[in-house]
Structure 1
Amino acid sequence: MNGDRRQFLRNSLAAAGAGLVLGTAGPRSLLAAATTPPQSGLAGLFAPDFAVGTALSNTTLLGQNPSLESLVAREFSAITAENAMKWEEIHPTADSWDWQRADYFVEYGQRTGMYTIGHTLVWHSQMPEWVFIDQDGKPRPKAVVQKAMEEHIAAVAGRYRGRIQAWDVVNEAVTDDGKWRESHWYNTFGEDYFSRAFHLAREVDPKAELLYNDYNMTIPAKRDFALAQIQKFRKQGMPIEGVGMQAHVHLSEPEIAKLEASIEAIAAAGLEVHITELEVDVLPKAYDYMGAEISTNFEYSDELNPFRDGLPQKVADQLAARYESLFNLFLKHKDKIRRVSLWGTTDAESWKNDWPVVGRTNYPLIFDREGRPKEAYYSVAGLKGESRSG
């Protein structure tokens, strides 16, 4: 990002002033004032290229943040439920279902005309123990677990049939070193659970796009193993349209070249690429400090939480440059990419504030805690000619 453009972005942010709050004058009005022709948020800017999405938190889905809903409707064209459709949230016990948040999510998607992604049907995490362990603490037989999977997918995908455009059918089934994750699913079924989940989803909803979603897909061993398994099952008739490539990235890694290699590999396998769960972590990696002290040592906590009072301008510039480089890459491969979805809308709701260390203050998204567009927002919008200076 050159100096003139960076100064332009700062001037645009300054023009927003203290009066820019969620639900009032927003990025749309800023873009309209600064560019010709005006566009309707990122969704409008990138409409010729790919859908631009965000994740909706449970707080938003409980109706506690209508101003954030307005921001999402203005800026994005796709939504994912961050937690509302995960098994422990929607089906906590064998005989109970909680549809409130998921229903609202789907209704919001229909009301706003969003490309709506269900997340997720089969995952090893955020799972209630009853699915795999009986009341005596013993593993349930394969037939019982299979029935639970079948009933769950039938109920969830069936309830929203025709209103969900895509499902993350299976989430994070592969380890970083290129093996099947030895989850309860795998230990009960073997690798066949993977294919079975996709067949069940297709039987319940014949029209939804079916996706596999995973993180660290820039690691060649992981990516290549996952794609090899998908290809094997596809030859046996497994229905799948695309791969969700989670993008929980940092300021400098993974390198753009590694991201590009994985985009190309997924596309070469005949699958659509979905960039999912995008955010840019600006804090020190907790794993560099890992030890028992993280939860107890105040000095260590300070080292891991250096920006609790605000993001320094230097880091804000780095964040804007990183988002610009990422979206430059996505535009380069727009013929392969179906969607780019951020994992949250504002810094206030990002899960990276509390993971992997509770209490940290992070700034990984393109809107600040008050819903104002950051320099990172303008660096992305500028790629479409809507924020460039002269």
Structure 2
Amino acid sequence: MRIQLATTKLVLSVLLLGGCAAYDNQSTQNTTFKSAFADDFLIGTAVSERQVMTNEKTRAFVAEQFSALTAENSMKWESLQPQEGEFNWRVADELVAFSEAHGIHVTGHTLLWHQQVPEWVFEGADGEPASRSLLLNRLRQHIHSVIGRYKGRIPSWDVVNEALNEDGSMRESQWYKLIGPDYLVHAFKFAHEADPEAKLYYNDYNLFKPEKRNGAVKLVRDIQQAGAPVHGIGLQAHYGVGYPEDLTQIEDSIIAFGELGEVLITELDVSVLPFPDEEQQGADISLNMALSDQLNPYVDGVPEQDLKKFNDHYVSLFKIFLDHKDKISRVTFWGVDDAQSWRNNWPMSGRTDYPLLVDRKQVLKPVTETIFSLAQ
């Protein structure tokens, strides 16, 4: 069912600060994310190393609020195997133990990506680029080591992250250049070998765009037809107020991907800040721009008109998610609270953003009351 974007009556309690609505007001509701959506889909968050290891307040908040967890960075290649054959399991082990103690579903993120990979992975013994066979062996060894350690404990994995360009063509990463386009097939086969019971996902951003959606459908079908299991597609939902402008594009992608397997909303946040170039919105972490007051306008809070747009955007998104809960198995926010969100430092360091439904004091924002009521 398609939604009509309309003004939503929201219950808002806001603290006025210089004509802006500050996100430090106290929510009066007792409902949690995981209780609100218990009959619909898993609801999750991504956690950082500091939050996992030392922040007891955040650990308690996460245990209370969420039914799913993803490691923000601590399961990526550079974190787990910075040197060949030398693994650092400390943070990942603690995350898995914490999740088990609280009955929280964990998704491993991510086994293969073109970012945050140590240089040695792509180098041969002579300093030249690694051969196809060497790189495939390293990929298999890494995947088997990581999944093997958590076999039976981590039930799902983001196997490949961001293999597509914006036009739906394959990104010519080092993986692509040194192995060839079949590197994805091998990655999913290696993951299935390591744990035949685990759910395996492809994950990418801007998959609401028709051309990138079509590329993802073709990519996943090709992998499946080659005999490697892909159980679902993760839509990284890095959005902004008014982005995407047409939310039915998200709905179209959910429907299209639902024909291939599970649909996951994997990295949800909604920025309230202006973006310097509409064409570059998404999640390309290689972007690095200079900070300016024009692009960091809400240091002290968000104007009422933009707060309302933020609220309406989130309400509209959750209407879509709930309309298609038969296809969606998980919705995960990329971060626990506004203070921790990566959106404060992308695409420029030092901005103040408010992209999550939990404020800087780890209080649920008032709009969550309206969002939770949608699931009743």
Both structures adopt the same fold (TM-score exceeding 0.5):
yes
How far does residue 135 in structure 1 lie from its aligned partner after superposition? 6.1
| Deviations 1:119-175 (CA, angstroms, capped at 9, x unpaired) | 000111111000002465420111111111111001100001111111000111111
Of 362, 365, 383, the residue aligned with 2:374 is 383
In structure 2, the partner of 1:10 is: 13
CA distance in 1, matches of 2:279, 2:205: 22
Which of these residues, 246, 268, 271, is aligned with residue 278 of structure 1? Answer: 268
Name the structure 1 match of 2:283: none
Contact kept, 8 Å, 2:132 with 2:178, in 1: the verdict is: yes
Question: What amino acid maps onto 1:224 in structure 2?
Answer: N
RMSD (Å), alpha carbons: 2.3
Correspondence 1:201-212 to 2 at 5 A: 201-212=191-202
TM-fit CA distance, 1:316:
2.0
In the alignment, structure 1 residue 370 sits paired with structure 2 residue 361 = yes
Q: Please give the alpha-carbon distance, in whole angstroms, between the structure 2 residues aligned to 1:371 and 1:235.
A: 45
Whole-angstrom CA distance in 2 between matches of 1:250 and 1:362? 11
| Residue in structure 2 matching 1:56, options 34, 47, 66 | 47
Contact persistence 1:354–1:360 (CA under 8 A): yes
The residue type equivalent to 1:271 in the other structure is G
Task: Name 1:23's counterpart in structure 2.
Answer: none
Structure-2 change in CA distance of 1:2 and 1:145 (3 Å): closer
Output the TM-score relative to the length of structure 2.
Answer: 0.90
Which TM-score applies when normalising by structure 1?
A: 0.87
Kindly indicate whether residue 25 of structure 2 is the aligned counterpart of residue 31 of structure 1.
no
When residues 126 and 18 of structure 1 are mapped into structure 2, their CA distance, relative to the original with a 3 A threshold, is: closer
Structure 1, unaligned stretches of length 5 or more?
21-26, 33-38, 386-390
SS state at 1:55 partner: strand
Change in 2 beyond 3 A, CA 1:367/1:127: same
**1:231 and 2:234 are equivalent in the alignment:** no
TM-superposed deviation, 1:188: 1.1
Measure how far apart 1:105 and its partner are. 1.0
Relative to structure 1, is the Cα distance of residues 136 and 302 closer, same or farther in structure 2, using a 3 angstrom cutoff? farther
2:358 aligned with 1:355, yes or no?
no
Tell me the distance in 2 between the aligned counterparts of 1:215 and 1:19: 32
* Gap regions ≥5 residues in structure 2: 1-5, 17-22, 281-286
Q: Residues of 1 paired with 2:219 and 2:230: CA distance?
A: 12
Query: In the alignment, is the contact (CA less than 8 A) between 2:185 and 2:226 conserved in 1?
Result: no
Alpha-carbon contact 1:320-1:375 (below 8 Å) kept: no
The residue aligned with 1:97 is 87
* Contact 2:48/2:74 (8 A) holds in 1: yes
Displacement of 1:11 in angstroms is 7.7
Q: How many matched pairs?
A: 358
Quick one: structure 1 residues 123 and 370, their matched pair in 2 at CA, closer, same or farther if it must change by over 3 Å?
Answer: same
Superposed counterparts of 1:90-169, under 5 Å = 90-134=80-124, 137-169=127-159
Q: Of Structure 1 and Structure 2, which has the larger fraction of its residues in helix?
A: 1
SS of the residue 2:13 aligns to? helix
User: Which residue does the alignment assign to 1:47?
Assistant: 38
- Whether 2:334 is the aligned partner of 1:331: answer no
Question: Which amino acid counterpart does residue 31 of structure 1 have in structure 2?
Answer: Q
Q: In the alignment, which residue of structure 2 is the partner of 1:36? A: none
